[in-house]
Structure 1
Amino acid sequence: MGFLSKLFGKKEEEKAAAGKVDVKASASKNSIPPEKVGLDGNFDESGLAKRVAKALDDAGISDDVGLWVAQSGSTVVLKYNSDAEGVLSQAEQVAKGVEGASSVNRVPNS
C-alpha cells in the first residue's frame, strides 16, 4: 500500500502517479508557499506531508511500522511507535530532503 495511500488515501496516490511536481515552479507561479504545494502542483494544506509520505515510499521505507507523517507549517512531524525506531533516522533524512521542509520533529506516540 505505501505511506501515501495509507495516510492520505488512494486519490493522492493517483495524483502522485501523474508525475513529479516542480515545487519551486508551482510555488512561484501560483503564489503558494512551498510547504502548501500538493502532489499535483496545486494548493494543498497538507502538501508537504503528502510529498514526504511519497518520498518515504520512494525510499523503500516500510509502511508496516508505526510511523505517521504530518506537518506544522514547514516543519515535518514524524509521529512514531517503538517499532518504527529502526527506520526513524532514515525517515528523518528523507523528510529533510523534501522541498519546503524547514525542519523535522520526532514525536513519540504515547
Structure 2
Amino acid sequence: MGWFDRIFGFGKPDNAQTNPEPTGTDDQGNAIPPERVGLNGEYDQSGLAKRVALAFDEDPSLDDISTLWVAQTGGTVVLKGSVPSEDILNKVVSIAGGINGATSVDTDQVTVG
C-alpha cells in the first residue's frame, strides 16, 4: 500500500499530478487557491495534502512509512507521527515544501527514531 492509498483510503486517480494547473473555480466561482487544487486541477478541500502524499509515492527513495501522516491547514502541510531518521524527515519536508500551494511544513508532531 502506498502513501496516498493509506492516508486517503483509495487509489490514485488516473492522470493525477503533484502540481497540476488549476481548472475551473471554487464553490463561489473564484479562482482556486493553490492549496485547494486537486490532483487533476479541480477544486479539492484537501488538495495540498493529497498532492504531497502523491509526491511521496512518486519518490523512489521513500517507502511508505506507515507511522507518518500528512494533513493540511490552509497552505501549511502538517506532518504527524514518527520517522526512522532525521534524513527521512528532511527528505519529506523538502518534498512537501516543493508542492505548489505549500507555504510551510509543520513537523511539531513528528518524532525521530
Q: TM-score, normalised by structure 1?
A: 0.81
What 5-or-longer segments of structure 2 have no aligned partner? 26-30
Q: Give aligned pairs, total.
A: 105
Deviation, structure 1 residue 41: 1.4
- 1:37-95 deviation digits (Å, cap 9, x = unpaired): 11121111100000000001111311134111000000001112253655111000000
CA distance change for structure 1 residues 92 and 21 in 2, over 3 Å: closer, same or farther?
A: closer
User: Could you tell me which residue of structure 2 aligns to residue 3 of structure 1?
Assistant: 3
Structure 1 gaps of 5+ residues are: none
| Alignment TM-score, normalising by the size of structure 2 | 0.79
Equivalent pairs: percent with the same residue? 41
Higher helix share: 1
Runs of 4 or more, structure 1, over 6 Å off, are none
Query: Considering only aligned residues, what root-mean-square deviation do their CA atoms show, in Å?
Result: 2.2
